[in-house]
Amino acid sequence: MAEGGGKTGKTDDKPDFARGIPAGDLPEGAMIEGTLGEDKVLLLRRDGAVTAIGARCTHLGAPLAKGIVAEGEIRCPWHHARFSLETGEAVGAPAFAPLPCYRAEERDGRITVTGRREAASRPEGAEPAKAPPGKVVIIGGGAGGHACAEWLARAGHGAAVTLVSDDPDPPYDRTFCSKQYLSGKAPREKTMLAPDGFYGGEGPRLLRDRVVSLDLGAEEIVTAGGERLAYDALVIATGAAPQKPDLPGFDRPEVHTLRSLKDADALIAAAEKARSVAVVGASFIGLEVAAAMIAREKSVTVVAPDAVPLAKVLGEAVGRFVQGLHEEKGVTFRLGRKVEGFDGTALTLDDGSRIEADLVVLGTGVSPRVDLAAAAGLALAQKDDGGGIAVDAHLATSAPGIYAIGDVASYPDPRSGRPLRVEHWVHAQRQGQHVARTLLGETAPFTETPFFWSGHYATSLRYVGHAGSAEEPRIEGEVGKGDFAVTYREDGRDAALATCKRDTRSLEVEAAWDREARAAV
């Protein structure tokens, strides 16, 4: 990929697009990042045409020049957000804000950027809608609930939306709770998903309350505060709740779970007084908490029954690599051991040994919150299929006008043909956006490939697809050096891919599986 423009004037080794670059420096398929005044701008040539858009993802600032272009969209290399090249619109979470768009001219063998052009203000396909969505009630202010409300608001229907949440905080980025915020690298205000004032005025209404029942006959929800809210469409985004093993001492105040921003606040406060931290469970959340506590200069021990952390999901080789990352930073692992109790000063293990800890964090999994759906008589998925609320290819439940999204939804995976319930932040957001588009008249089924990322100190892992196990992985690269792509197969097909330092491969496989899923429905 040619940077070019070396003779045209640069800022920080980036070409100045106001002065222009030789047209030959932007061959077909190339992307070049440069500047226009203080703006970072990306030039692309596709099918002969030159496009100029913002160069940094509006989610967390990733350089889009390191992403890929697929089917008229540019995909972010870090967290796989998608933007329309034509309009700049953020068409796929986790980004919501559009990219700025610019005017590019190719004349007399040079390409110049002359200024901004108007960007999109509404999602593609949302205008004109076949019909207004009516009254939309969303239960749950997490990833999926907010993404659904935000898309409807972008489409001009925010005033029709009420989001009911029993969380004391407005919608926030839950991934920060175990990563940037917990480790002290980001302030609390950076966790918020929407600007001040988004929920209010002409936008969606945020009702801080708890829904206690669904009245399907009256098409109303009932809250603990006594409100009855009528709906034309109801979106259940109740998420999942942390599992707390029934063990002696696990009800003590020194024992914490981590699901909400309030939980993170409590854990940060407890960590200020703690010297030694024990993490029970070598899950992704558990290990991210371990990394955050190391950043806060605590002594950390991880206890888990597994022989190798994350081996069931990532395989033994990648699991050992992740374990090594933590051990290099000082984390101690007690693997192959079960916890039998906590007395306030130490964990007791099944071999009779003790681990001193004045703070315990549980990373022992979550369970989908299906109580409301079950009480209302909605069809549930089988526990052997992961549980949750059963939905169809459009994420619709067994009751008319009711949808379920996120951690609580069990939907038909178009690639495997099996029911699938995943607990991924971005996937929940994309399901929320899909339901919003459905309410605006779109008829396509949900076909997004599952994706998540996990950070361990300076190392990030990407995972696309879904595999029921990590047996017989196909490894490319060198896992021990943190440069690899590992493919997991299921039923004779490639089902999932884990990568480290191979972001382009991750994006390309995700795009290919998206196309495969669309072709299957």
Shared-domain flag, residues 424 and 316: no
Domain assignment of residue 323, yes or no: yes
Shared-domain flag, residues 468 and 413: no
| CA proximity to 168, closest of 199, 208, 198 | 208
Domain assignment of residue 309, yes or no: yes
- pLDDT of 131 reads 65
Domain end call among 66, 89, 117: 117
Shared-domain flag, residues 345 and 406: no
Asked whether the CA dihedral 58, 63, 65, 71 is positive or negative, the reply is negative
Shared-domain flag, residues 253 and 349: yes
Shared-domain flag, residues 227 and 263: no
Q: E strands of 407-468, at which residues?
A: 409-412, 419-420, 451-456, 459-465
CB 11 within 8 A of CB 28: no
String of DSSP letters for 47-82: TTEEEEEESB-TTT--BGGGSEEETTEEE-TTT--E
Domain assignment of residue 5, yes or no: no
Domain assignment of residue 16, yes or no: yes
Domain residues for the domain of 348 are 246-363
CA dihedral 472, 478, 479, 485 (to 10 degrees): -60
- pLDDT of 472 reads 84
Shared-domain flag, residues 255 and 359: yes
Please give the Cα distance from 39 to 54 (Å, whole number).
8
Per-residue pLDDT of the chain (521 residues; tens, 9 = 90+): 232 333 333 446 899 999 999 999 999 999 999 999 999 999 999 999 999 999 999 999 999 999 999 999 999 999 999 999 999 999 999 999 999 999 999 999 999 999 999 765 554 444 444 567 899 999 999 999 999 999 999 999 999 999 999 999 999 999 999 999 999 999 999 999 999 899 988 889 999 999 999 999 999 999 999 999 999 999 999 999 999 999 999 999 999 999 999 999 999 999 999 999 999 999 999 999 999 999 999 999 999 999 999 999 999 999 999 999 999 999 999 999 999 999 999 999 999 999 999 999 999 999 999 999 999 999 999 998 899 999 999 999 999 999 999 999 999 999 999 999 999 999 999 999 999 999 999 999 999 999 999 999 999 999 999 998 998 899 999 999 999 999 999 989 999 999 999 999 999 999 999 999 999 88
Q: Kind and range of the H or E element at 117?
A: strand 110-117
Shared-domain flag, residues 374 and 402: yes
Joined together, the tokens standing for residue 129 give: 């809608």
What is the domain count for the chain?
Answer: 4
Shared-domain flag, residues 231 and 373: yes
Domain assignment of residue 480, yes or no: yes
CATH assignment of the domain containing 415 = 3.50.50.60
Asked whether the CA dihedral 269, 209, 202, 437 is positive or negative, the reply is positive
Shared-domain flag, residues 214 and 272: no
- pLDDT of 8 reads 37
Phi/psi of residue 487, nearest 5 degrees: -100, 135
Domain end call among 307, 333, 363: 363
CATH assignment of the domain containing 504 = 3.30.390.30
Please give the Cα distance from 446 to 431 (Å, whole number).
7
Please give the Cα distance from 392 to 431 (Å, whole number).
12
Q: Kind and range of the H or E element at 142?
A: none
SS3 107: strand
Shared-domain flag, residues 301 and 404: no
SS3 20: coil
CATH assignment of the domain containing 48 = 2.102.10.10
Sorted by sequence, the CB contacts under 8 Å of residue 40 that are 6+ apart come out as: 14, 33, 34, 54, 55, 56
Domain assignment of residue 447, yes or no: no
- pLDDT of 383 reads 92
Domain assignment of residue 23, yes or no: yes
| CA proximity to 58, closest of 92, 17, 86 | 92
Shared-domain flag, residues 371 and 359: no
Cα separation values, 378 from 207, 342, 373, 374, 384, Å: 24, 39, 5, 6, 18
- pLDDT of 12 reads 60
Please give the Cα distance from 48 to 225 (Å, whole number).
59
Please give the Cα distance from 372 to 387 (Å, whole number).
14
Shared-domain flag, residues 408 and 496: no
Q: Kind and range of the H or E element at 432?
A: helix 425-439
Please give the Cα distance from 44 to 61 (Å, whole number).
18
Domain end call among 61, 89, 117: 117
Q: Report pTM.
A: 0.94
Residue linked to tokens 């175990």: 178
Phi/psi of residue 69, nearest 5 degrees: -110, 130
Domain assignment of residue 128, yes or no: no
String of DSSP letters for 268-291: HHHHHH-SEEEEE--SHHHHHHHH
